[in-house]
Structure formats: C-alpha cells, structure tokens
Amino acid sequence: MTNALTRPTWRWRWLATVALIALWAIMLYVMAGSVERAWLVVRGAVQGRLPWDLYVVFAIVLLFPWLGHLVAPLTAAMVFKRNALANQEVTLSLDRAGIEGSGAGIQSRIAWSSVRRVIETPRHLFFAISKREAVTLPRRAFGSEQDYQAARAFALQQCGATPESR
C-alpha cells in the first residue's frame, strides 16, 4: 500500500531533480560571491578536486527523488506493528453509503466522498483517503475474478473515480 500511495510521478522526479540542482547553483553562487568563482568550483568538481564525501552527498541528494520512495515502506513496516488491526482479519463491506470495515472489536465506516483517489495494482485496489492512508481491497479476497470485477465496478461507480494503474 505504501508504495502505491507514495511513489512519485516521473514528472515530479524530474522537477525535484532540476530544483535541487538549481538550489545548489544558487547556494554555490552565494557562497562563492561571483559567477566566475562559482565556475571555478564547478570545474574543480568536474576534475575531481573536491573531497570524496561531497560527491557522495551530492549523489545521495540527487538520487533521493528517484529512490526516496523506497524508504517509505521501511517506515510503514515499523508503524504497522503498532496498529490495532495489524495482522488481524478484517471484513470489508461495500454499499451505497461507503466502505465498512470491521475486525478485532473495531468497526469503521468511510463514505465514498472521502475517497480521494483509487489506485489499482495487479494484486490490490486501494481507496486512498489521505496521502498515507488507504482501504485495501485485495483480489485474493474474492472467490473469482468476476466477483472482484463486479466489486471494483461498483466501488468505482460509487466514488466516481478512474483508477490509477501502478
């Protein structure tokens, strides 16, 4: 679920990379005091005259927009264990009012109007209700592919969404 909710788009990744490079250029200009001195530092970096740890920091920061979403599942795994329904069986019901979930003495209802977006993967249908929360509808919970497709069509009609594929 975390990967489906947090994976940034390609456009966001490129914009973030360009923004990071622009921010570094501005910082370099301010620290160097002039364009000529800033270019001297850039030439020195290209020729390998800077300390190696600066290259490592530069690479990590530039790779973060591309690989940063891989950190989210690790964080989510640690937080998941503290969840009251962690590793518990949950029953979901879909009706015209919304999605109702129950399990381990807990009952919750989410209105269709609370669903911000729908994300579909080969194994799950996620109803995102915030940037980090979603109701997960696994395909394996259905007796057949036709049952899954019927529930999927009903849910999409109720929340008026087109699923994003991941």
Q: What is the pLDDT of residues 118-160, one digit of tens each?
A: 888 888 888 888 877 888 888 998 889 999 899 888 888 888 8
Instruction: Give every CB contact of residue 63 below 8 A, 6+ residues apart in sequence.
Output: none
The answer to whether the CB of 164 falls within 8 A of the CB of 121 is no
The answer to whether the CB of 110 falls within 8 A of the CB of 118 is no
- Which regions of 4-160 does DSSP assign to beta strands (E)? 91-95, 98-103, 106-111, 117-120, 124-128, 134-138
Task: Please indicate, yes or no, whether the overall pTM of this predicted structure exceeds 0.75.
Answer: no
Query: In the structure, what pLDDT confidence band is assigned to residue 5 with cuts at 50, 70 and 90?
Result: low
CA distance 11 to 24: 20
Q: Is pLDDT at 80 greater than 70 in this prediction?
A: no
Percent of the chain with pLDDT over 90: 14
